[in-house]
C-alpha cells in the first residue's frame, strides 16, 4: 500500500515462523460492530415518517419509540409519538411476530418494518431484529439496516458470522453505492479479512479499473521540507532557491536571474495567517481554509505550532519512531474536518450558540461528522500509544484547549483508533506534476545555453526528490494485500483540481478474482515481508506466494525440515530459485499444491524485469 512500510511498532521480530502464535497484538476498534447511535436513530425516525406517509397511517402509537430519544427541540417537525412504555403480553407478542413474518413473506417491506418497529425494543427478539434489518435493507435504508443488524448481533448469545457479514454488507451498501454504480466491473465483499474488492467481469491486463481521490491527505514528513508542494492539490512548488539550497546564496545576481528566467513559472500562495502552508492558487488556499486549516492555522490556534514543528523536524520524528510514510498532520486534519462539519451542521440546523456546548444536538452532529471516516478499518497494538506520549499531548493541546465552540476530546482511545486508521489505510500518492518534472523542464529550457549548463554543473545535485502525500481513499482502502498482487496503484490527476490514484490491472482477472495490491517491498524475502505486514498492518500474510515460497536454503519449503547443522543446504527450484526442497517428493508435492502458480508468475516477472 505504501512505498515504504509504516514503521509503527518497532517490536515485531523479523524471523517469526509459520505455526507461531501470531496474536501478539489486539484489535483496537473495528468497523464490524457499531453501537446504536443517535444519528442512526434519526435515520430510523425518518424511515418511519416515510412509511407512515406511504401507508397513510395517522394513528398515534402507544409505545416508546425511536423519536422519544431524540431531542424534542430539534425534531419539532417530526410527528410525535406517545412516550407511554407498554409491555406486550406473550400472546400478543407472538401474534405480532407472526404478522411481521407474513408481511415480509408477502414482500411488503414497509409494513414488515413498521410492524417490527411497533414492537417495543425491549421485547424485540433476535428474529424481529433480523427481519427489521432485512426489510429496511430492502427499502434501501442501509443506515437503519445497520442498526438493526447490530442489535441482532447483540441479541445473539454466541458469535454469528453470518450476521456480522450482513452488517458489513449494509455498511458497504451505504458507503460505496455511488462507487459501485460508477464502476460496475467491481464488487465489494466481506470475509474474515474484512472488505475486499472483486472483479465482476473479465478485466484485462493494463486496463484501468477505477480512480479515487483522498478524503483527507497530508504531505509525508520525509518530503515536507525538501520538496514543497501545494497542500491541497499536491502539485510540486519547487523553486530554484529551494532546489539549489545553500548554493543559491553563493550565486551572483546575474546567474540567479538567468536561472529564474528559465525555471518553469509557478504561483505560490502562502496562507495569509501562517507561514507553514503554501498553495498553488487562491482556490486551493480557500479550499484548505474552509475544510480544515481554519482550525489548524497557528494564527487561530497557537497550539498547532508544535505540531508543525514536529512534522518539519525529521530528526525528532525518526528518533520517536514516527518515520512512517504518513504524517501526524493527517490525523489533525481529520479531526479538524470533523469539527468543521459539526459546526456547519449545527449552524445549518439553527442551533443556538448557548445550546452548542455539550448539548445532545452537538453529540449527534459530531457523530454524523465522524461517519465519513467510520468505514476505515483500525487495527493494531493498543499499547502503542504509550510509546508516543508527546504526540498525544500535542493533539490534546490542539483540540482540548482551542477556542472551539464545543469540546472535542482526544483521549488515548480516540488517538489510538485514529492512529491505526491512518496506519492501516493511508496510501501514498502525488500529483503527476512532480518536482523532477519541474527540474527536467528547466534543463530542457537551458539546453542550448552551453555556458549556463557548464556553470550549473558545479551547483547541481541531480534530480530533486519528488513530493509524496499520504491520503485516505474510501474505495482504494478496501484493497487487501497479496505478495502476488493483481493490480497496481498509480498517481493520477483525477480532476483538474485534485490529484489522486488510479488502479490498473496487472494480471488478467476473471469474475470473482480479488483485486489485490502490495503493501510492502516485494523484493524482500518471505520472512521479512510477513514480519513487516504483521508489524505495520496487524495480519499474518497467507497469500499464495507466502504459502509456496521458501525462506532460505537451510529449510525445506514444503515440509519445513531444517538441514542438519546448517552445513548442507537444500537445492533450490531451478526456475524461480525462491523455494528449497529436502527431497524430490517434497518438490513434487509442493508443485502440485500450488508452487507451480507462483513459480510461473515469478519466473515471468523476473525475466521481463531483466529484459527491461
Ligand X SMILES: C[S@@+](CC[C@H](N)C(=O)[O-])C[C@H]1O[C@@H](n2cnc3c(N)ncnc32)[C@H](O)[C@@H]1O
Binding site for ligand X (CB under 6 A): 193-196, 377, 379, 424-425, 477-478, 480-482, 537-539, 541, 543
State the virtual CA torsion across 223, 228, 233, 236 in degrees, nearest 10.
-100
Report the C-alpha gap between 447 and 332 in whole angstroms. 44
**Phi and psi, residue 103, nearest 5°:** -60, -40
Q: Smallest gap, in angstroms, from Cβ of residue 378 to ligand X?
A: 9
Q: Smallest gap, in angstroms, from Cβ of residue 27 to ligand X?
A: 8
Of residues 504 and 589, the one with the C-beta less far from ligand X: 504
Of residues 434 and 473, the one with the C-beta less far from ligand X: 473
Q: Smallest gap, in angstroms, from Cβ of residue 237 to ligand X?
A: 30
Q: Smallest gap, in angstroms, from Cβ of residue 578 to ligand X?
A: 19
Q: Smallest gap, in angstroms, from Cβ of residue 70 to ligand X?
A: 31
Of residues 372 and 465, the one with the C-beta less far from ligand X: 372
Identify the sign of the CA torsion 404, 410, 414, 419. positive
- Which residue reads 452488517 in cell numbers? 167
Q: Smallest gap, in angstroms, from Cβ of residue 421 to ligand X?
A: 10
Of residues 236 and 480, the one with the C-beta less far from ligand X: 480
Report the C-alpha gap between 275 and 298 in whole angstroms. 9
Instruction: Give the HSE-up count for residue 230: Cα atoms under 13 Å, Cβ half-sphere.
Output: 26
- Which residue reads 508435492 in cell numbers? 589
CA dist 17 to 424, 551, 564, Å?
23, 10, 18
Q: Smallest gap, in angstroms, from Cβ of residue 256 to ligand X?
A: 46
Phi-psi region of 218 (alpha: psi -120 to 50; beta: other; left: phi over 0): beta
- Residue 385: enclosing H or E segment and its boundaries? none
Report the C-alpha gap between 239 and 564 in whole angstroms. 61
Report the C-alpha gap between 602 and 591 in whole angstroms. 14
Nearest partner of 515 among 186, 178, 172, 171, judged by Cα: 186
Nearest partner of 514 among 203, 65, 246, judged by Cα: 203
Q: DSSP assignment of 72-92, as one string?
A: TTTTTTSPP-B-------HHH
Of residues 134 and 375, the one with the C-beta less far from ligand X: 375
Residue nearest ligand X (C-beta atom): 194
Of residues 571 and 594, the one with the C-beta less far from ligand X: 594
- Which are the contacts of 21, defined by CB distance < 8 A and separation ≥ 6? none
Q: Smallest gap, in angstroms, from Cβ of residue 546 to ligand X?
A: 9
Q: Smallest gap, in angstroms, from Cβ of residue 376 to ligand X?
A: 7
Of residues 8 and 139, the one with the C-beta less far from ligand X: 8
Q: Smallest gap, in angstroms, from Cβ of residue 379 to ligand X?
A: 5
Q: DSSP assignment of 88-149, as one string?
A: --HHHHHHHHHHHHHHHHTT-HHHHHHHHHHS-GGG--HHHHHHHHHHHHHTT-HHHHHHHH
Of residues 236 and 427, the one with the C-beta less far from ligand X: 427
Of residues 327 and 538, the one with the C-beta less far from ligand X: 538
Sheet of 186-191: strand order equals: 186-191, 194-199, 514-517, 480-481
Question: Do the Cβ atoms of 329 and 218 come closer than 8 Å?
Answer: yes
Of residues 103 and 547, the one with the C-beta less far from ligand X: 547
Amino acid at each position: 500500500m505504501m512505498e515504504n512500510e509504516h514503521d509503527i511498532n518497532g517490536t515485531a521480530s523479523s524471523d517469526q515462523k509459520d505455526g507461531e502464535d501470531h496474536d501478539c497484538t489486539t484489535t483496537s476498534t473495528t468497523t464490524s460492530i457499531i453501537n446504536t447511535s443517535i444519528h442512526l436513530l434519526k435515520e430510523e425516525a425518518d424511515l418511519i415518517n416515510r412509511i407512515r406517509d406511504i401507508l397513510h397511517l395517522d394513528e398515534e402509537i402507544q409505545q416508546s419509540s425511536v423519536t422519544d430519544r431524540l431531542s424534542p427541540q430539534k425534531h419539532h417537525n417530526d410527528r410525535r409519538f406517545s412516550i407511554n412504555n407498554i409491555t406486550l403480553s406473550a400472546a400478543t407478542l407472538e401474534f405480532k411476530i407472526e404478522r411481521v413474518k407474513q408481511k415480509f413473506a408477502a414482500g411488503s417491506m414497509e409494513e414488515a418494518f413498521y410492524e417490527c418497529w411497533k414492537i417495543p425494543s425491549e421485547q424485540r427478539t433476535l428474529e424481529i431484529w433480523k427481519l427489521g434489518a432485512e426489510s429496511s435493507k430492502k427499502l434501501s435504508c442501509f443506515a437503519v439496516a445497520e442498526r438493526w443488524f447490530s442489535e441482532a448481533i447483540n441479541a445473539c448469545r454466541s458469535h454469528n458470522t453470518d450476521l456480522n457479514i450482513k452488517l458489513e454488507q449494509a455498511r458497504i451498501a451505504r458507503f460505496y453505492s455511488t462507487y459501485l454504480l460508477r464502476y460496475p466491473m467491481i464488487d465489494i465483499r466481506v470475509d474474515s479479512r474484512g472488505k475486499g474488492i472483486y472483479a465482476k467481469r473479465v478485466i484485462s491486463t493494463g486496463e484501468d479499473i477505477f480512480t479515487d481521490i483522498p478524503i483527507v491527505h497530508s504531505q509525508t514528513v520525509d518530503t515536507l521540507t525538501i520538496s514543497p508542494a501545494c497542500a491541497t492539490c499536491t502539485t510540486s512548488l519547487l523553486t530554484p532557491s529551494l532546489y539549489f539550497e545553500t548554493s543559491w546564496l553563493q550565486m551572483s545576481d546575474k546567474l540567479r536571474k538567468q536561472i529564474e528566467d528559465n525555471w518553469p513559472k509557478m504561483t505560490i500562495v502562502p496562507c495569509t495567517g501562517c507561514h507553514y502552508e503554501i498553495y498553488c492558487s487562491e482556490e486551493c488556499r480557500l479550499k484548505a481554509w474552509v475544510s480544515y486549516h481554519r482550525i489548524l492555522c497557528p494564527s487561530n490556534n497557537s497550539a498547532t505550532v508544535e505540531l508543525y514543528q514536529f512534522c518539519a523536524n525529521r530528526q525528532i520524528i525518526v528518533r520517536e519512531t514516527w518515520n512512517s510514510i504518513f504524517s501526524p498532520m493527517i490525523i489533525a486534519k481529520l479531526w479538524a474536518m470533523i469539527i468543521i462539519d459539526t459546526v456547519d451542521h449545527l449552524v445549518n440546523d439553527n442551533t443556538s450558540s448557548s445550546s452548542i456546548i455539550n448539548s445532545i444536538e452537538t453529540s449527534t452532529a459530531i457523530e454524523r461528522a465522524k461517519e465519513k471516516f467510520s468505514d476505515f478499518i483500525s487495527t493494531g497494538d493498543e499499547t502503542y500509544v504509550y510509546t508516543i506520549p508527546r504526540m498525544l499531548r500535542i493533539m490534546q493541546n490542539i483540540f482540548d484547549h482551542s477556542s472551539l465552540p464545543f469540546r472535542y476530546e482526544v483521549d488515548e482511545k480516540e488517538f489510538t483508533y485514529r492512529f491505526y486508521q491512518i496506519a492501516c489505510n493511508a496510501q501514498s500518492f502525488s500529483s503527476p506534476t512532480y518536482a523532477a518534472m519541474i527540474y527536467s523542464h528547466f534543463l530542457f529550457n537551458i539546453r542550448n545555453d552551453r555556458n549556463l549548463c557548464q556553470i550549473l554543473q558545479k551547483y547541481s545535485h541531480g534530480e530533486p526528490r519528488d513530493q509524496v502525500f499520504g491520503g485516505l481513499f474510501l474505495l482504494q482502502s478496501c484493497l487487501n494485500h497479496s505478495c502476488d498482487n493483481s493490480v497496481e496503484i498509480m498517481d493520477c490527476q483525477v480532476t483538474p483540481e485534485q490529484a489522486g490514484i488510479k488502479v490498473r490491472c496487472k494480471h488478467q482477472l476473471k469474475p470473482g478474482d480479488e483485486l489485490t495490491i502490495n503493501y510492502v517491498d516485494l523484493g524482500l524475502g518471505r520472512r521479512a515481508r510477513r514480519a513487516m505486514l504483521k508489524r505495520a498492518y496487524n495480519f499474518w500474510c497467507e497469500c499464495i506466494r507466502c504459502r509456496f515460497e521458501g525462506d532460505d536454503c537451510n529449510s525445506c519449503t514444503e515440509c519445513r525440515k531444517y538441514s542438519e547443522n546448517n552445513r548442507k543446504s537444500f537445492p533450490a527450484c531451478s526456475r524461480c530459485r525462491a523455494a528449497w526442497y529436502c527431497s524430490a517428493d517434497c518438490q513434487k508435492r509442493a508443485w502440485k499444491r500450488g508452487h507451480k502458480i507462483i513459480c510461473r508468475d515469478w519466473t515471468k516477472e523476473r525475466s521481463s524485469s531483466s529484459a527491461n
